[in-house]
Every structure is written in C-alpha cells, then in structure tokens.
A and B are shown apart, each in its own frame.
Chain A
Amino acid sequence: MIEKTDVIVIGAGPVGLFAIFELGLLNISCHVIDNLDKPGGQCAELYPEKPIYDIPSRVKITGQELTDDLLAQAKPFNPVYHLNQQVEKITKLETNEWIVETSQNKKIQAKCIVIAAGAGSFVPRKIPIDNFDHLEGKNIVYAVRNKSLFEKKKIMIVGGGDSALDWTNELSKIADVTLMHRRKEFRAAPDSVSKMLELEKDKKINFLLGQIDNLEDLKNGQINVIVKNKDEKKNFEVDYLLPFFGLKMELGPIANWGLNLDENLIKVDTEKFETSVSSIFAIGDINSYPGKLKLILSGFHEAALMAQQCFKYCFPDKKNVFRYTTSSKELQKKLNS
C-alpha cells in the first residue's frame, strides 16, 4: 500500500518539526520519517536535559522542552510520524511526484521531499577494529531485534549505559551473560543498575572489568574477545558480542540520491533552500550555502522559505496569499482547533 501526502519531511529534529508548522500554515500536509524511536533528533537524543540559550524569546530551554513545544506547535496540522526507520530509496514518478521507501518497507508518495536530517541518521557506534565487518549481524550485534537468537548462548554485553544494563537484565533470563564495562560505575538508570548488581550477586550474570582490545574469528561460529584491563589481557570466547557505545550520526543513503554535496552537506540555494534536484529541499544543519551557520534558528528561517516554494509544487494553480497568524481568521481557526 502506498500512503499519500503533500510533503515528506526526513528528520524529526527541531527544524523538521518546525517545517511541519510552516508547511501547515500553507495548507500543506506532511509525513515525517525518523530513524530514532522518538521525535526531537539531537535535542532529544543527545542533550534532552541541557539548556539552549539562543532560541529567540526563550531565555533558556532544554532540548526536551524545545522538542515538546515544537511537537505541540505542529500538532494542529496532524502530521503522520514514521519512527524507527530510515529512508532507503527515493524514486521519481512520471507525474514528478516522489515515492519514498523506508527501512520498514513503507512506501509514501509526495510532491516534495524536505531533508531536515541534521548530521544524518543516528546509528549505533561500531567497534573501531578493522576487518570484522563480516561478523556484524552474525557474532557482533549492535541492536537486538530478536531475543530468541540468544537462547542458551554465551554472550558478552559491553557498556555502562541503559542499553547495556537493560539487555543484561533481560537476556540473563535466557542466556549466559557477561557484562563488561571499563569501571564499576554505570550511567544507566539506578533501578537497572541495582537489578544488575543483584543478578551478579546471585551469580545469574557475570561482571567483568575491562575493555575490548581485539577480536578473533574462531571460525566455529564463535568469536574470541580479547579483553584488556590495565595491562592485563585475556581471552573470552563467546557466541555473541553486543557492544553498546551509544549512537553516532551518518548521512546514510541520502548520499546516493544524486544531490550536489559539499563534503557531507547538501548544497542549496538561499532563496528556496532547494537542492540541485527540483522539489527536494534541505534545511537545518544538513545544508550548505555561503555564510551558513549551524543554528536551530537558521533552520527555522530556512523552513519558512522552503514552505513558500513547496506551495508552488503542491498547488501549482493556486495563488499563495501571504498572511500573518496574528490577523488571519482562517489560520487562527486551524491553530486553535
């Protein structure tokens, strides 16, 4: 089934969320796609509790507060969010519309695409050890999709955050789990930490102080994790290694869409913020133009101008009458509904 909308916004960070609002003011409907499990992008994922001081009129606001307010501001326009998925492929139709396909096999058709992807999609950080790519998804697992894979297996989980601790506690029910971390302090939620320590006390899991030094493919379905603690090294043979070192950002499939790039940024004009491909726009940290400043407020400005051009693609026969939210009865009705 193909879902239809006017505009597909890629990225649900602050600029993507404000784009929904600016497009909505012009009666343009949106679907929004993001690889994280929640909207907010870097603001919600990297620094939800940290203060931001340069949003006009907001003396001080945290990343999460900004996200919540932008979501509320976009809400009257009924955006449809597609979370936990990445756009993998785009195809242009004869009608000049686009079909976007996501990693969850969703297909969405729209007249324009707005890329508001910040520094790219968040993906798990991988171990910086070369030559083990072939074990990824086999012995090395960065995201658990199917728990039963680990049943009665010997696994090593590495890290000290929520993912590492939550999976240690959960998988201890079905697998032989060793948790390894570089220190015996954890930044995960206190509840998960005390649960893990209890499991360790009851010998339901094993805790190991150390870091990954190297890996070895044992070619029998297992891998040897060479573990280092200070100057001491030892071998640790396991079926699965689950490293949880947080997330990093990658441009991903966008790099292959034929857009003119400037290093890892998408070149746009400063009138419409359109890319080298017509009806594809790029706003926020992901774009590049002379004088670009990577600020949320620049992204907001870019969203407003982008929306003007999207209107022309979405309603080629209609005249766009410029209106202020303060004076337009029609807009107020929509915003207060």
Chain B
Amino acid sequence: MKIKVTDREGNKHELEGDANSTLMEILRDAGLDIEAACGGCCACATCHVYIADKWIEKINEKDDDEESMLDQAFDVKDTSRLSCQINLSDDLDGIELELAPD
C-alpha cells in the first residue's frame, strides 16, 4: 500500500505502508521529520498530521484521548490527527497527508 506525504517544505514523498503498522511508524521509519516523542502511546502531540479531506472519513475515528492530546498541537484543523493513532489497512492504500508544523 502507498502513502503519499507532503513534508513541511512542500516536498512530496511516496512511502510503502503495511497493514500491521500505524501511520506514525511508517513516517518515522522513512526518516521524515516527525518526533513521535512518546513512541506512539498517545501521550504527546509530536506526530501531528493533516489528512487529505477525502481520506479523513475512511480512517478509524479519533477517541477522547487523541482529541485531548491534540490540545498540545499547533494549528489544529478538522483534518488534524495524531498519526500514531491511525491503524493502516489495505483500504487506506493511497492515503494522502501533510505533516503539521512543529
């Protein structure tokens, strides 16, 4: 499955994802500038991304924990998500997203 990412400089990256990972893990392991300080346990807001509109409804919904951690993120939008809380699956093949400011 493919993941299409736009970084903070506007450069586009196409990454290979897999259905057993979270989105954060794929971004981090690809060397993109994403801090993911807590390692993926939804305890910081340093893996903040914006999901493209057409994909936002296809991913698992955010829970209260994630909504509350997003309070520590900057420039939160309706399409804001913490990428460690997004479980990849084959129906997300081609998902497009953008790294949020840090």
Do A161 and B43 touch across chains, with their CB atoms under 8 A apart? no
- Report the minimum CB–CB distance from A157 to chain B (whole Å): 13
In B46-92, which residues have CB < 8 Å from any A CB? 46, 67-68, 70-76
Question: Does A80 have its Cβ within 8 Å of any Cβ on chain B?
Answer: no
Q: Are the C-beta atoms of B75 and A42 separated by less than 8 Å? A: no
Q: Are A127 and B74 in contact (CB under 8 A)?
A: yes
Q: Chain A 151-190, CB within 8 Å of chain B: the 1/0 string? A: 0000000011100000000000000000001110111000
Give the docked Cα–Cα distance between A246 and B72 (Å).
Answer: 6
Residues of A within 8 A of B38 (CB): 42, 46-47
Bound CA–CA A88/B46 (angstroms): 26
CB <8 Å contact, B71 and A182: yes
Chain A, 179-207, CB within 8 A of any chain B CB:
181-183, 185-187
Chain B residues positioned under 8 Å from A186 (CB to CB): 71
A189 CB to nearest B CB, Å: 13
Query: Which residues on the A side are within 8 Å of B15 (C-beta)?
Result: none
Does the CB pair A46–B43 fall under 8 Å? yes
* Cα distance A183–B72 in the bound complex, in angstroms: 12
Closest residue of chain A to B101 (Cβ to Cβ) is A128
Contact across chains for A125 and B41 when beta carbons are under 8 A apart? no
Interface of A is mostly: loop
Cβ contacts under 8 Å, A211 to chain B: 74-76
Residue A143 CB within 8 A of the other chain: no
Q: Which chain A residues border B93 with CB–CB below 8 Å?
A: none
| Total interface residues in chain B, CB < 8 Å | 20
Interface size class of A (residues with CB under 8 A): 20 to 34
Q: Does B44 contact A (CB under 8 A)?
A: yes
Judge if A248 is at the interface, Cβ distance under 8 Å.
yes
Which residues of A are found within 8 Å of B67, using beta-carbon distances? 185
Does B30 reach chain A (CB closer than 8 Å)?
Answer: no
Complex contacts, B44 vs chain A, CB 8 Å: 46, 246, 248
Asked if A47 meets B41 with Cβ closer than 8 Å, knowing A128-B102, A248-B46, the reply is: yes
- A249 on the interface (CB 8 Å rule)? yes
Q: How many angstroms from the CA of A127 to the CA of B74 in the assembled complex?
A: 7
Q: Once the chains are docked, how many angstroms separate the CA of A322 from the CA of B74?
A: 53
Q: How far in angstroms is the closest Cβ of chain A from B59?
A: 20
Fill in one digit per residue for A56-67: 1 if any B CB lies within 8 Å of its CB, else 0.
000000000000
Partner of A245, one of B37, B41, B43, B72: B72
The answer, yes or no, to whether B98 is at the interface (CB within 8 Å) is no
Question: Do A182 and B72 touch (CB < 8 A)?
Answer: no
**A147: interface (CB < 8 Å):** no
The answer to whether A119 touches B74, judged by C-beta atoms less than 8 angstroms apart, is no
Across the A-B interface, give the 5 residue pairs with the lowest CB-CB distance, nearest first: A246-B72, A128-B101, A46-B43, A187-B68, A160-B71
7 of the cross-chain contacts (CB-CB < 8 Å) are A42-B38, A46-B44, A127-B74, A182-B76, A213-B75, A246-B44, A246-B45
